[in-house]
Structure 1
Amino acid sequence: MAGVWRWRRNPLCRATDRCEAWLALAAFLLLMLAAPAVGWLCGARTDASLQASVRAQRAERHLTTAVVVRRVTGARHVADPEISGGAMTRTEVVARWHTPDGAARTATVTTASRNASPGARVRIWTDRSGDPTLRPMDIPTAHTHAALAGFGAAMLSALLIECGRRLIVRRMTGRRYERLDRAWATVGPDWGRTGTGS
């Protein structure tokens, strides 16, 4: 706004200077209003989509009791990416359990249980057919992902606004120099000669 006010009645002000000042004001307003609105909209839509995904995962996956057969050789404790903050670690084991139709199943699974010795009972996540699956995403993790998506969308919008402003200013400056070159080409050959009215 200060730039627009400064050029208001300045005798040295060119039309392009006023255009640049108004362009800067428009870009500032877009950065303050449009970018946060885009971020909020993207975050809200992402959150709604992730919450629907959380509900679907909770409906399709359930905890099953399994018996540890043995630990996986070279197994390591890994942070669970589906839990907000990754505070819970999981261990890889070979376990045996029964599917909903009664069939026995043995496979390598991950468990959050501290006791992963052979014969220990652990809780694992399975799908409707009894196959091992990842634990469902929790609500705080969904909110975190949505907030990050909204923040990213707001930053991308701000970057696009600033790039657009710089591109327009660059074109305006290029046209200003072209006009200056044309004016100089008409005056330049006679510059400093006697009797040319200069």
Structure 2
Amino acid sequence: MMRAIVGLWRWRDNPLCRRSDRREAWLALGAMILAVVVAPIIGWLGASAAHGALLKNAEEQRQGRHQVWAMAESVQDRALTDSDPESSSHQPDRRHVVAHWAGPDGETHKSTVTTRQHVQPGERFRIWTDAAGTATTRPMSSQTASSYAALAGLAAGAGAVGAMEAGRRLTMRQLLRRRYDMWDAEWSRIGPDWGRTGSNN
């Protein structure tokens, strides 16, 4: 892309510089301007929209989830249930705990939960539950929402750049095809007389 732009500037007054060369260079310049100016705007808009939606979701989670005390009945390390020792060595220190707890409505619930807390059978530990008393994950934090929003913005900006580059390449292919068609037509016109003395007379 930059080579085409530099070439346009160096050879702009050269009589050998064809109209198609200028079109290619202007196309590359336009694509570069769009990538530098438009893509960051798209990324910022995507990040802003994602941030607002994620913050709203985080607030809903904070309002609908509660911490309660659960009683551990049995505990099993996650690594013991993994059939691949090499992969399990890279897993976080988590435990599967069969526990029971009282939900917000006072009803007793029992299920297997995953926790990083070092608990033993018969010990109490804190878990997060939803309004129905079902075990769930902790609410999303504002920092996590901001991180996800930033990633969404980067993805949107990268997607915009990719779409622009794909459009540029597609247009370049059309220009090259048109150039080859012109060459074929020109060769069909002068090819039979190529090398004949006085063929232009």
TM over 0.5: yes
- Which of 46, 55, 62 pairs up with 1:58? 62
1:141–1:76 distance in 2 versus 1, CA, 3 Å: farther
* Change in 2 beyond 3 A, CA 1:195/1:11: closer
SS of the residue corresponding to residue 152 of structure 1 reads helix
**Correspondence for 2:42 among 32, 38, 44:** 38
The secondary structure found in structure 1 opposite 2:128 is strand
1:68: which partner in 2?
72
The yes-or-no answer on 1:143 pairing with 2:146 is yes
Q: Are 2:156 and 1:153 equivalent residues in the alignment?
A: yes
SS of the aligned residue for 1:47 comes to: helix
Matched, 1:182 2:185: yes
Between the aligned partners of 1:91 and 1:179, the Cα distance in structure 2 is 71
Equivalent residues in 2 for 1:58-137 (5 A)? Answer: 58-72=62-76, 89-114=93-118, 116-137=119-140
- Residue 137 of structure 1 aligns to a residue whose secondary structure is coil
| Range with greater deviation from structure 2 (54-63 or 127-136) | 127-136
Deviations 1:166-196 (A, max 9, x none): 1111211111111111111111112222443
Q: Secondary structure at the match of 1:50?
A: helix
Q: C-alpha displacement at 1:197, in angstroms?
A: 2.5
In 2 relative to 1, CA 156–76 (structure 1 residues): closer, same or farther, beyond 3 Å?
farther
Q: Distance in 1 between matches of 2:173 and 2:29?
A: 17
In 2, the alpha carbon distance for the partners of 1:75 and 1:172 equals: 59
8 Å CA contact retained: 1:7, 1:18? no
Percent sequence identity over aligned pairs: 45
Question: What amino acid is the match of 1:50?
Answer: L
- Residue 21 in structure 1 maps to residue 30 in structure 2: no
Distance 1:76 1:148 in 2: 34
SS of the aligned residue for 2:135 comes to coil
Q: Secondary structure at the match of 1:30?
A: helix
Unaligned runs of 5+ in 2: 82-91
CA distance in 2, matches of 1:76, 1:53: 35
TM-score by length of 2: 0.84
> Matches of 1:74 and 1:18 in 2, distance apart?
63
Structure 1: runs of 5+ lacking an equivalent:
78-87
